[in-house]
Structure 1
Amino acid sequence: MFNKGNKGLFALVLTLFMLTNFVSNAQEGESIFNSKCATCHAPHKDMTGPKLFEVRQKWEEGGAMEGSLHQWVKNWQVAAATDPYAKEVSDWAPSAMTLFADLTDEQIEAVFDYVDEQPKGGAVADAAGAAGGGVASNIATEENDFGWIWYILGAVFLVIIFSVGGVKRQLQELDEDADKQVKVGSKVWVFKNRKYVGIGVLVLVMAGVVWLFLGLYQIGVVSSYQPSQPIAFPHDIHAGINGIDCKYCHNSADKSKSAGIPTTNVCMNCHKQIQGAGDQVEKIKNIYASAGFSPEGGGKYSGETEPIIWNKVHNLPDHVYFNHSQHVEIGGIDCKQCHGDMTKQNELPRVVPVEELNMVEGNIQLTRPTLTMGWCIECHNVKEVSTGTLEGKGGYYDEIHKRLLENDESLYEEYLEDGKVTVNELGGWECAKCHY
């Protein structure tokens, strides 16, 4: 049997465990929704795809077959072919939906649970609609998350108060009944060592609070994120063995904000002649199907094409500004600093953890998780952006050097004490540099 103090402590541990699981499930559903669903769907607004609020109830009332909704998420074509209701849904907006065959039933349920928790007309739905979907909803979601975090913290502190109160009452009762009761076993020990017991309870409570906060700090961290792709593209063969430059396929990396995804025509520049061998043949057939090309008889195009729908790997919130050309062309950042050594990566593209990035020769050594704000500003604090000779191609930074020399030469000399001028010293930590 539990006494009052033990019951309070047990309730605290159980509550912390349940809250941690709740945070984990909510985090998983939110993370999957933002990375895979929010581009085309919103909770309460029809976009490219229909609104998802209470979609499970809608499918059930519409007469959908059991398991059909999960099959739709994994492969909508299979669901439409086997379930009449799914066929009706496919006719509502006849556009190709991305296949998510790697998602489990539990992950799909976590997404629907997260969507059903969103209030109608709330910040998440409004942000997603205004931004045309995509991960812009991360902004509003993050703001909305702080509401329930305070409720959770309030509940934790209430449990702490009641638990400590229960321990205090137990000690008082033991003290009052000391002459009447036979002090044996654990009660005697607790009474005699009540000071140490109190300290131990306090340590456990503080450890539980720290544990909870460490879990909350992981919300939104996407290190090691690896979405499924329609073709298992081998970077090590293309960039490694064949030595193809990254910018041949991602040809806008040094010219625009986005690095760009190569079109099927870029692939066909080589694969019109190269048909592969072994398991490569099937992968290349997918490219031929997209281009409407048949290699038989010297090769010919049918004119019937279909896009290859790639899933984005590096997703940033819409309030974060990032320009590839500024980093690649002006900053001189090598692709491997952020993406890892692609010449050795045979697996599907993913967000490479900072520990693996630090193992790449020549990379700046960082400590914060990849794609977090701390990761960026840590790099800005050590990366040299210009020599200050005014002879480079970075006109923006050269102009800043020029103004420093003309207006505050002593400050410029202070910046050059370590032999370089960093992004931070040229304003790279100003909020407006990276945030709208």
Structure 2
Amino acid sequence: MSLARKDAGLRALVASTNINPEQKVPQILSKLQDILNRISVQDDRELGAFKNSLFSHGILQYCAGDALKLNYAKVEGGYATATQLAEILSSCCVGVDLGGDTEAFHRRLLPSVTDSLLSLASRLMNRALAGNGQPEMFRFFRKVMGSVCWLLKAHGHLATQVLQSDHYERMLMSEEERVGTVCVSLWHQLLTANSELVAGLGKGPLSVILDDVVYRMAHTSNPAVGGAAIRTLLLVARQQESALQLIIHRFKGLEGMIGREWRGRGFDEEVDQLIKLLHKVPKPADHTETWPEECVRAACVIQAAWRSYQTRRRVKSLPRAVRSLQRSFRERRQRRVQQAQAECWEEELRLQLCVRRQRARREFHQKQLQLLQLLSPGQVQQYLGEVERQAVIRIQRVWRGHRERRHFQQRRNTHTQHRA
């Protein structure tokens, strides 16, 4: 079967509404893997064109918007299927041969893909940290975060979105050492691949990275975490002078803690280089006091713990604020609904009264006609004459009353003027 026919079959499968989404996703994954395996050994230009076809026909949007948000406990293959789909989605967002619709790709698709990948990683982390967590969930978590890293290497502007994401903030809140290793390794790999990323990040996002790196380094003895953290700090310090100044002023005494805790762990060269950079910046003229190493390490730990506590407190306060806003919105919406319903009932009541009055008047006239039909012609003439006479009397009575009231008003005005 040709690639064009497979591509058409894939589009038809995505657009189909007769298949349950839990059954559709494994089929989409199988077709994507088959097509990509065939194209990967061919020309890169054809691969880029195929990725553009996936974007233009909405297949990437479906994978990012609907497929990754399913409950994969009900999908064939479970979260292994979700992990493979995340890897393919991340790969298909890199090296796309875009035509003219670049804004839709960069402004809408890429943020959606990033959020979906982080959401999936957060779910995998929660399952791995659960009491009966499955061991393979951490492996899936690392793979999904690797997909995020692959995406950020090609689209560095998404790093700010990652740092501001609620899903990534939950990862920062985790005290699990393996989660910390993945987070620190993510930024180490990203900064190694993209040396201009530090310049593109603002002070706020860069501070989030540095806080997490120093906090993980100060609260673990794992060489993997410590090595990745020191290499990350070294990359940041080398790439921009302002970043080095930020590290020095934000974590005073960091060089003492690094030299004491991380020498002899297999990366002494990086430790010495980082300490040299931290000592390179001149100290103030009156800076003559030397702090003990224990105090320096304690200060670093306290600073990192305090910033972590602030982040936790901010995250914990968010649900209360959201609940308050939701409650106010629901009450206001309920009042509007009740008011609209009351107005609708009043209008309906007025219409019913008008209809009933018209019906009663019509029935009264019909009864009069029926009674007239029962009378003889002479009696009808007598009845009509009586009705006419009563009408004349009523008109005269109304006219005399109006005339007398007018005369009375004139006499009262004349009397008032005479007394004045």
Q: Could you state the TM-score of these two structures normalised by the residue count of structure 1?
A: 0.23
Larger radius of gyration: 2
More helix, by proportion: 2
Higher relative contact order (CA 8 A, sep 6+): 1
